[in-house]
Structure 1
Amino acid sequence: MPALSEVIAALDALWPPEQAEQWDAVGTVCGDPAAPVGRVLFAVDPVQEVVDEAVALGADLLVTHHPLYLRGTTTVAASTFKGRAVHTLIKHDIALHVAHTNADRADPGVSDALAGALDLRVTGPLVPDPADPAGRRGLGRVCELDPPMTLAAFAERAAKRLPATAQGIRVAGDPERTIRTVAVCGGSGDSLFDEVRAAGVDAYVTADLRHHPASEAQQQSPLALVDAAHWATEWPWAEQAAAQLDEISDRHGWGLRTHVSKHVTDPWTAHAASATHDH
């Protein structure tokens, strides 16, 4: 079995920590570098439910997309919910490693996994990383939909292919419009509308779209919007990441067992559909 330090080195090669945003908190949160690793769990959120799943699974390492302590802390007391997660992990010799905006930017990254889940062919990054001469890294992806389909049909595909959440899929635009090109951004994507418009795509798939940016995007151009739950747009990355580590494990003869959490950790738990009224 490899040591944690060896596995972390492999993960850092996939998602270099120096490629994370300055404000981000990525890397190893807890864990002994010399400890052996045999079983790894991948998930989006380092919440107690997922930590308990790692314990029940007998995992030695939990890899999540979202940081546990994004804004820093002065305590890991078990009286706080995040401190309780840390206590649980350390008591059971489970390391926690985070790959956030460095996984967003990577090749392949979070948006590649989202594009793959929707059967889209990636043609390049939406916001290219200037430090990548190959032009493959960066935020978001520009994709082609082959064969083209209506916005309504594409939204149905998104609802079927992405994990189910209370939100489901929200759509803005003419449902009969033909969609040929699509921009995707896993997670919150309404800061990228300028780049989406510049890409000239027919539709944009992302999460957490707010009223004003979505409304302005609709007014400025006939851009179709497909808004899924934040967790749902990032969950495909966990499957992609597990497959990447499987390949590394096979190459090194590590014999790792990888698992992907199926727990829905999206914070929204119910959806009450509005009644339709004539005005």
Structure 2
Amino acid sequence: MTTVADAIAALEAAYPPELAESWDAVGLVCGDPGEELNRVLVCVDPVAETVDEAIETGAQLIVAHHPLLLRGVHGVPADTPKGGLVHRMVRGGVALFCAHTNADSADPGVSDALAAAIGVTGLTPLAPTPDGRTGIGRVGTLPEAEPFAVFVERVARALPATEGGVRAAGEANRPIRTVAVSGGAGDSYLSTAAALGVDAYVTADLRHHTAGEHLAVPGAPALVDVAHWASEWPWCEQAAGVLRAALGGTVVIDVSTRRTDPWTCQAAGAPTTRRTTR
């Protein structure tokens, strides 16, 4: 009999808990490790949509990237959004396991999956840990240089569509060969990418002033800003592969395709151009 504990052992071997940041909350959130396991759902976000999907498909375990209870809590009453999810999972016999910054830093991890999706190879950590093998982000190369505008389209085709789409900042004809990526919010690594001299940096949640100050430096990497959820979704198939390899086909492993990016619509608005104010 395959159990929840068997899946946890495989996931913690691939994404060691000790790689997690000190502020993070990873591991088993709810559920019984001794329960029999027949089906798993892998997703980015443990939210109502993915809990619904797990219950509908009969999964006994949700493997999520984002933690459900990242900040300290004093209770999980059922009339609160997160407490309600915990109660639904417990009542439905669904365990929840989260691999967050430990999956970000693992080798391979979240950024390896993002890099592979957009065709970047020869990967090394963007911000390595002392072992030089693990760490946040990845740096690699494209098979051959291509104009930035073409590269941006490459990224957009590789990732699931979201309302926010893909934003880019850089000269359309700039040749792009070396690329840094960081799944999730990666603006704290802008200076790291710049110091490595890469041609472009792909990440999520870039802020106005931070991006503007970065681009004001001559030669700074061009920027591609994607939706947070979309940047981490390729990891789901990687984690599913870890479980398929470890559990020997005894468990059905599903990857959720439900879009849990929080942005649901976008107004077209008027066309914009750069203006010089006097």
**Alignment TM-score, normalising by the size of structure 2:** 0.96
Percent of matched pairs sharing the same residue: 55
Structure 1 contact 115–122 (Cα < 8 Å) conserved = no
**Cα distance in 2 for residues equivalent to 1:41 and 1:151:** 36
**RMSD, aligned CA:** 1.2
**Cα distance in 1 for residues equivalent to 2:46 and 2:88:** 12
Counterpart of 2:195 (choices 195, 198, 215) is 198
Structure 1 stretches lacking a partner, 5+ long = none
1:224 matched to which residue of 2? 222
1:73 matched to which residue of 2? 73
Q: Which SS does the other structure have where 1:220 is aligned?
A: coil
Deviant stretches of 4+, over 2 Å: 276-279
Query: What pairs up with 1:255-274 in 2 under 5 angstroms?
Result: 255-274=250-269
Query: What pairs up with 1:105-254 in 2 under 5 angstroms?
Result: 105-130=105-130, 132=131, 135-222=132-219, 223-250=221-248
**Cα distance in 1 for residues equivalent to 2:107 and 2:2:** 25
Query: What pairs up with 1:13-32 in 2 under 5 angstroms?
Result: 13-32=13-32
**Cα distance in 1 for residues equivalent to 2:98 and 2:139:** 26
**Cα distance in 2 for residues equivalent to 1:25 and 1:235:** 19
Residue 245 of structure 1 deviates from its aligned partner by 1.1
Encode CA deviations 1:28-67: one digit per residue, 9 max, x unaligned: 0001121011110000000011101000010010000000
1:275 equivalent in alignment to 2:270: yes
**Cα distance in 1 for residues equivalent to 2:111 and 2:272:** 38
**Cα distance in 2 for residues equivalent to 1:9 and 1:3:** 10
* Mean Cα deviation higher: 266-275 or 164-173: 266-275
Q: What amino acid is the match of 2:82?
A: K
Structure 1 contact 113–236 (Cα < 8 Å) conserved = yes
2:89 matched to which residue of 1? 89
2:64 matched to which residue of 1? 64
**Cα distance in 2 for residues equivalent to 1:212 and 1:171:** 15
Residue 277 of structure 1 deviates from its aligned partner by 5.8
Q: Which SS does the other structure have where 1:70 is aligned?
A: coil
**Cα distance in 2 for residues equivalent to 1:221 and 1:257:** 51
**Alignment TM-score, normalising by the size of structure 1:** 0.95
